[in-house]
Chains A and B, each alone.
Chain A
Amino acid sequence: MGFEFVALSLPPLVIGTLAAMACALPGNFLLLRRQSLIGDAISHVVLPGIVVAFLVTGMITTTAMMVGAAGAALLAVILIEAIRRLGKVEPGAAMGVVFTAMFAGGVLLLEQSDTSGVHLDVEHALYGNLESLIWLDAVGWASLTDPIALAALPPELPRMGAALVLLSLLTWLFWRPLKLSTFDEGFARSLGLPTTVISLAIVTAAALAAVAAFDAVGSIIVIAMFICPPAAARLMTNRLESQVAWSLLFAALSAIFGYVLAGYGPLWLGASASVSAAGMIATVSGLILALAALFAPHRQA
């Protein structure tokens, strides 16, 4: 178990958990601000961003992809706002117009351009490649203390870790204004807090989490983790502090159980191949939400 687990299962497991938690954290605020579907929209428009970045630079580099994806997310937010204001279209519909059109554009560009040499396709965008993030230099648990082996960890791991740390730090630093403007925007504004900036910052943080997680785990996990763990946590408690803690716990549980079930579940049932980890993680997060909706202490208003 030792070598195989550390080399093949541990890195994706950790990356999946970090990604899940990084998405769940801003998801809490999106949920309370009734903007959950912004996460859905962002994870759709990341695809055209990455395709354009690839077409411009001609290669798949992390920086180019991140910039492309972030640019697309920003463009989407601006377009949604513009359509909402200029055309007096209701926000949900404006969002629907923008993200479907941008996603369609992304798919079309992808089909039109020659991406056969690189790992870039719609399936990858949807369910990522969590299973392929293996750590070939690992020889066993001892590798965790071996700096040379550690340097060969999949780059997604430190990136996801950095994203989670950054998001946690920002949440911690701006906790009070975040909380105030989320629960009572009018009051926050009367205190002189820049509520528009805060609102934009939350969307940007969500975009950051989505972009960082997207490459490793695909957009299904991103959407599921934006919504399901915070929603389940919301049913557990009335305090924002506890809600955030619960959501991080649920996110981690979804990632761990989802990954293990996807990787080993079919083997226990006698099948030979594993199933999609991304899909399974989303499924487990849904099961947790279902349990919370049925039994959680604060499930009703």
Chain B
Amino acid sequence: MFEALTLQLGYNAVLVTLGSAALGVAAGAVSAFLYLRKRALVSDAVSHATLPGLALAFLIMVAFGSDGRFLPGLMVGSALSAWAGLWTVNWITRQTRLPEDAAIGAVLSVFFGFGIVLLTIIQTMQSGRQAGLEGFLLGSTAGMLRSDALVIAAGGALVLLATFALRRPMLMTAFDEGYARVQGLNTARIDMALMVLVLAVTVVGLKIVGLILIVAMLIIPAVAARFWSENATHVALLAALFGGLSGYVGAALSATAPDLPTGPIIVLVAFALFALSLFLAPSRGVLASALRHRRLQHDVHLRQGLLALAHNQPVYEAMTQRMLRAHGMMRADGVPTDAGRIAAAAALQDETRWQELRRIEELAMLASRDDGLTPITDILTADQVALIDNRLKPQGVI
């Protein structure tokens, strides 16, 4: 495995691994824009729609006397039929009242079904038996030609360049379509350009990842990357990194054993990256938000406990008791310590000030900043606090 990851498994495996990494980087970058545009599942229709074109291209090439396995020819065929599928999705969504998800589902199942019909025709042909077109369903890198790997790496690089060139208009369209249009951008054309990139990734990825799973490379990297940043450029860069990593590690792992199919392994590596992001990412990750929740819970319990102490009320709630004791505010028998008395008085003072704030016309709007935890001195200036304290003095609270 170490040899595979450090590219020591022989020339072809290295080529496949690098090609797959290039594809992954390109797919990841495109996925970020697709995700921001909320059209992730359109890629599912596009990828399934490649099958009839793939099969027809094979049939045509065989009819002209070649063996039909010429990868660029197959890629052109699948691109054309994917385009037809994409056009159909758009047509159905625009011309009928069917929602886009139904259009996506209809196109993907019908195009794929028709592709299977063509595949069964090919399987009955003499030249079709060894065609290995089934390999395009789930991807197969076994016996990949050097020229194929080069085509894939070059295709990935082209997609990446195009994505880089189009990043600004695509971002603008994704965030605020109306604003982008006011800025003179033709958003329909930019959406189309994004779809062309999706289509290019699909076609380039057919051989390695396969047409059923390539959609994963157009969805998962972006979703994983989104956990780490609120900045769209960073999300796109991270998604490219995640995609590239999945492609590289996946292809390398699959080269280590004969029964590790490339496409599924790449997808599972991508999913592992997603799972890591879901749990570990700062701020948006599950772990971080659980910790935040716990912290908030602590603060609320401590505050409520201190207020109870200030009012000389007994504390019954188990967690509150624990918090007070842990902070040295209360003895085991429920009697407040000196530190506890001081903190309780401070909490009560803060609470009283917040309440008085609501009665002061020019400050009342600040009452919305009262979350029951933030000390009022963090929000108000010293003068404003003094104003409140002056009003409280006659009542003898302060």
Contact = CB atoms under 8 A, between A and B. Distances in A.
- Interface size grouping (class) on chain B: 35 or more
B109 interface: yes
A295 to B, nearest CB: 11
Interface stretch (A11-19, A164-172, A226-234): A226-234
Contacts of B102: 31, 34, 36, 227, 230-231, 234
Given A100-B213, A100-B219, A104-B268, A282 B105 contact: no
B41 A231 contact: no
Interface stretch (B110-118, B167-175, B295-303, B342-350): B110-118
Contacts of B95: 293, 299-300
Contacts of A282: 109-110, 112-114, 116
Contact of A299 (B40, B97, B99): B97
B38 A286 contact: no
A228 B259 contact: no
A283 B286 contact: no
User: Taking chain B's interface residues, is the majority helix, strand, or loop, or is none over half, making it mixed?
Assistant: helix
A70 B267 CA distance: 23
Interface stretch (A85-93, A176-184, A195-203): A85-93
B203 interface: no
B110 A286 contact: yes
Interface string A265-280: 0100001111110111
A122 B38 CA distance: 30
Given A93-B223, A228-B106, A276 B97 contact: no
Interface string B58-100: 0000000000000000000000000000000001100111110
A60 B35 CA distance: 40
Nearest to A109: B264
Contacts of B114: 279, 282-283, 286
B120 A40 contact: no
A31 to B, nearest CB: 6
Interface in A176-231: 220-221, 223-224, 226-228, 230-231
A20 interface: no
B79 to A, nearest CB: 20
B52 to A, nearest CB: 9
B190 to A, nearest CB: 20
A167 B98 CA distance: 24
B102 to A, nearest CB: 5
Interface string A221-261: 10110111011001100000000000000000000000000
Nearest to B275: A101
A92 B41 contact: yes
Contacts of B98: 31, 231, 234-235, 293
A235 B104 CA distance: 16
A54 interface: no
Contacts of B96: 235, 293, 299-300
Contacts of A87: 223, 227, 278, 284, 286
Given A37-B101, A103-B213, A273 B124 contact: yes
B117 A34 contact: no
Nearest to B261: A111
Contact of B108 (A94, A223, A231, A301): A223
A230 B270 CA distance: 35
A70 to B, nearest CB: 21
B241 interface: no
Nearest to A44: B212
A256 to B, nearest CB: 16
B117 to A, nearest CB: 4
Contact of A97 (B112, B134, B213, B220): B220
Contacts of B101: 34-37, 92
Contacts of A40: 44, 105, 108-109
A122 to B, nearest CB: 6
Nearest to A228: B106
A231 B35 CA distance: 26
B215 interface: yes
Contacts of B137: 122, 126
Contacts of B99: 31, 34, 36
B175 to A, nearest CB: 15
A224 B260 contact: no
B264 A275 contact: no
B248 interface: no
A93 B36 CA distance: 10
A281 B259 CA distance: 33
Nearest to B265: A108
A274 B111 CA distance: 19
Nearest to A92: B41
A97 B105 contact: no
A105 B113 contact: no
B117 A101 contact: no
B139 to A, nearest CB: 10
Contacts of A220: 109, 112-113, 116
A300 B98 CA distance: 8
A104 B264 contact: yes
A281 B40 contact: no
Nearest to A274: B120
B223 A97 contact: yes
30 contacts: A31-B98, A36-B101, A37-B104, A40-B44, A86-B286, A90-B38, A93-B40, A93-B222, A93-B223, A100-B220, A101-B271, A103-B212, A104-B263, A104-B265, A104-B268, A108-B260, A108-B268, A111-B261, A220-B109, A227-B105, A228-B109, A228-B110, A231-B98, A235-B96, A272-B124, A276-B120, A282-B114, A285-B113, A286-B110, A299-B95
Given A93-B41, A104-B271, 10 more contacts: A36-B102, A37-B105, A93-B222, A97-B219, A97-B274, A223-B109, A235-B96, A286-B110, A293-B91, A300-B95
Which 6 A-B pairs rank lowest in CB-CB distance, beginning with the nearest? A282-B113, A286-B110, A279-B116, A100-B216, A224-B109, A104-B267
